[in-house]
Structure 1
Amino acid sequence: MRFFVPTDIYVEKNCVKNHAQNILSVGLRALIMTGRHSAAKNGSLNDVTEVLDDGNVPFLVFNEVEENPSTDTLRKATLAARDFKADFVIGIGGGSALDAAKAVALLLSNPDVDADDLHKVPDRQLEHVPVVAVPTTCGTGSEATPVAIITNHKIGLKKSIPHVIFPVLALVDGKYLASAKKQLIVNTAVDALSHMVESILNVKSNAFNRVFPEYGLKLWGECKDALLASGDVDVSLYEKLMLTSTIAGMSIAHTSTTLPHGMSYDLTLHAGVPHGPAVGYFLAAYTEVCAKFVPGDVERILSLLGLGNIGEFTTMLQSLIGTYAVTREMRDKFAAAMKVNRSKLDLVPGKISPEDVDFVYEKSLSLL
């Protein structure tokens, strides 16, 4: 068994201001990676830039990170960062901004690597400049993982790059959820839920790393009624949702994700489905398959969530994110690709069959 999370993580109110010196000690010139609007709207960008200004650390804001960051965007950001002579990267936002920050940090240290080559398996572990993560959504947990999910549109590929890029510092503050729309909170919370379920229903699950998802699922269960209810989520739950997300990230940092995440990437890449729902559509059926191999683990997950059976789990997920329909041709194409995806199949507890893969797709996606 192994336990390893090298990131210095703080989860508290006014986290950025409270730990200004931690940020200022990371480097001398900062590139800030973020999206176009949300970080400015929720106050996180202002909190970070005030700290940098007060500490006389020059910074460049690159606010062009899109959902599912592309290699083209990374290349553009890296060129700007090199011209600016940035020596560390601050990612502010959801998983897209944090993953993009990680990838650019690696590109800055390796000028011989092009962004389009990030998915190639290297012959050695590559260095990267330091990364600071300031998450503003309650889903990806990227602040606590070494993973960066990047899209290469030229070859029609969305997946994690084979590089270990842990942030050196993560500053997690629930107040940044205040300006988020309810459905965004729900979508990202479903992603966090998937991380924890996939971490337990995983061949890499062990006594050390199960501590994270089991505690996180209990917290998630305490939030589920608010997520299911009409109206906005009460501000009193923001900190708990962000904590749950970070715990979920720590969960997959040890185990990686399994089938639901692997299946989600095609939906996002080819149908434009947001990441959280794209994962969530497959989660209940995956749990049903795993119940054949590790029934005790499935029962534990349901118990922590306050659910009686997989049927209730399915109903809850459908209430949160609805359902999704594709053409039979698309569904068959996705299933065929997943049946040879050993990186995900080999993490499933038990000997999963091609028929099991078909079952998950058929149970999860209806036909147009």
Structure 2
Amino acid sequence: MNGFEFQAKTKVAFGIGRSNQIADDVKALSRTYKVVLVTDPGLVQLGVPEPILRALHDGGIEAHLFSDVQSDPSSTSIDQAAAMIRESGADCVIGLGGGSAMDVAKMAALVAGDVHPAEHYALMAHSFQPKQVKSIMIPTTSGTGAEVTSTVVFSTTEKRKVWGWDADMGPDLAVLDPTLTALLPPHLTAATGLDAIVHAIEAVAGKRSNAMIRALSLEAIRLLGQSLLIAVKEPANLQARGDLSLGAMLAGMAIEQGGTGIAHCIGHALGTLGRVHHGRAVAIALYDTYDWNIEANVPAHADIARALGVIDQGQDDLALAGAGAARFRQLVEASGLQLSLAGEGLSAADADRFAEIMQAEENAPMRNNNCRASSASELQQFAHHILSR
């Protein structure tokens, strides 16, 4: 049994309508009572930020809105958000949205404390200055777990997906309000929910797993597995939405400590290759690598199967793990997620480039943390299989 350390930085507040208390949350963290609210144009169009901005205003908080965030966040957006933080004198930033908005907010909070642009810190080529701006995350999806992690993913001006991380990047507060996720359409509910399930599966099966990660991951899988299809079919079901919110947060805590694996290596490569939505990309990747992974950690995959709802009828762990793989694929298919990437203009002709990106420096941490080591030829096989549908 390997020793480990575990520390959760982010305070979590959960409840129906909990986001209405945001002004009090800011007052508990801010000295200036000035904030920048980072969100995306789609949520602005739906009116989602309005009640948050109104609650801030009514509570005596000066709020500035930054909404230039795309689904694949860029270093440019981070730099622009950081500039708004500096210019407004804000000492608190709120990320409202999915992983993209939260990643921009998290990194902008640190970039704002110095003069360098976001790309200065890509793959941690340089260290951040100590954090001067507090951060609050309010997720409107149940997927990335970015509300409790100290990492971000963004694209450089050359369209290369890279990482940034720092212990201070972990948000000070995560506000989970299931009512804010009820507007998410079924296809995004499916993609983000599957992303969270993949997080939990890869964390518990990965090389850095421990007792705490197992506890977080298996409960996340249970909550997500039982609620995903209900939320897809009944978008306003707040019980299912709440379970998804909690499951995604727990999975986020799990990957914060345990990391991810081959599905995220492949998924990030797909994001670079064809701008495929992250949740869909990692779900497709695990769909095609789940069985291959099992033999490297059969006991963990048997536990995953139980958490996914597979009935243990006395079969051995290998059979149980295989049933878990089938259950995961069933969830993917029943959710309506599109497995073919032909619509993105991708085909087997792109396989060599796809496999090359999987082996890039920025994808090495995920690839190396996977429970089973992958050879260049195996990555090539995965690439051909995924792009041949």
Does the CA contact (< 8 Å) of 1:42 and 1:177 recur in 2? Answer: no
Q: Counterpart of 1:337?
A: 357
Q: Counterpart of 1:36?
A: 41
Q: What's the offset of the Cα at 1:232?
A: 4.1
Of the two structures, which has the highest relative contact order with CA contacts closer than 8 Å and spacing of 6 or more? 1
Q: Counterpart of 2:373?
A: 351
Q: Counterpart of 1:70?
A: 74
Distance (whole Å) between structure 2 residues aligned to residue 365 and residue 126 of structure 1:
42
Does the CA contact (< 8 Å) of 2:123 and 2:163 recur in 1? Answer: no
Cα pair distance change 1:15/1:39, threshold 3 Å: farther
Amino acid of the structure 2 residue aligned with 1:345: R
**1:1-368 equivalence runs, <5 A:** 1-18=4-21, 20-27=23-30, 28=32, 29-38=34-43, 41=46, 43=48, 45-111=49-115, 113-128=116-131, 129-152=133-156, 154-164=157-167, 165-226=169-230, 229=233, 232=235, 234-307=237-310, 308-320=323-335, 321-325=337-341, 326-339=346-359, 341-366=363-388
Q: What's the offset of the Cα at 1:309?
A: 4.2
Q: What's the offset of the Cα at 1:39?
A: 5.2
Amino acid of the structure 2 residue aligned with 1:333: R
Distance (whole Å) between structure 2 residues aligned to residue 317 and residue 331 of structure 1:
23
Does the CA contact (< 8 Å) of 1:39 and 1:93 recur in 2? Answer: no
Cα pair distance change 1:76/1:125, threshold 3 Å: closer
Does the CA contact (< 8 Å) of 1:200 and 1:297 recur in 2? Answer: yes
Does the CA contact (< 8 Å) of 1:99 and 1:142 recur in 2? Answer: yes
Q: Counterpart of 2:313?
A: none
TM-score, normalised relative to structure 1: 0.91
Does the CA contact (< 8 Å) of 1:91 and 1:98 recur in 2? Answer: yes
Q: What's the offset of the Cα at 1:33?
A: 0.5
The unaligned stretches of length 5 or more in structure 2 are 311-322
TM-score, normalised relative to structure 2: 0.87
Distance (whole Å) between structure 1 residues aligned to residue 226 and residue 215 of structure 2:
17
Distance (whole Å) between structure 1 residues aligned to residue 379 and residue 267 of structure 2:
13
Does the CA contact (< 8 Å) of 1:159 and 1:265 recur in 2? Answer: no
Q: What's the offset of the Cα at 1:120?
A: 4.5
> Identity across aligned pairs (percent)?
23
Cα pair distance change 1:2/1:55, threshold 3 Å: same
- What per-residue deviation string (whole Å, max 9, x for no partner) do you get for residues 192-236 of structure 1? 11111111121011112211110011111211442565x646333
Amino acid of the structure 1 residue aligned with 2:214: R
Q: What's the offset of the Cα at 1:41?
A: 2.9
Q: What's the offset of the Cα at 1:185?
A: 1.0
Q: What's the offset of the Cα at 1:88?
A: 1.6
Does the CA contact (< 8 Å) of 1:226 and 1:233 recur in 2? Answer: no
More moved, 10-19 vs 169-178: 10-19
More moved, 128-137 vs 231-240: 231-240
Cα pair distance change 1:361/1:315, threshold 3 Å: farther
Cα pair distance change 1:237/1:89, threshold 3 Å: same
Amino acid of the structure 1 residue aligned with 2:39: T
Amino acid of the structure 1 residue aligned with 2:339: T
The unaligned stretches of length 5 or more in structure 1 are none
Cα pair distance change 1:232/1:9, threshold 3 Å: closer
Q: Give the CA RMSD over aligned residues.
A: 2.1
Distance (whole Å) between structure 2 residues aligned to residue 57 and residue 234 of structure 1:
32
Distance (whole Å) between structure 2 residues aligned to residue 296 and residue 355 of structure 1:
27
Amino acid of the structure 2 residue aligned with 1:314: R
Q: Which has the higher helix share?
A: 2
2:122 is paired with a residue whose SS is coil
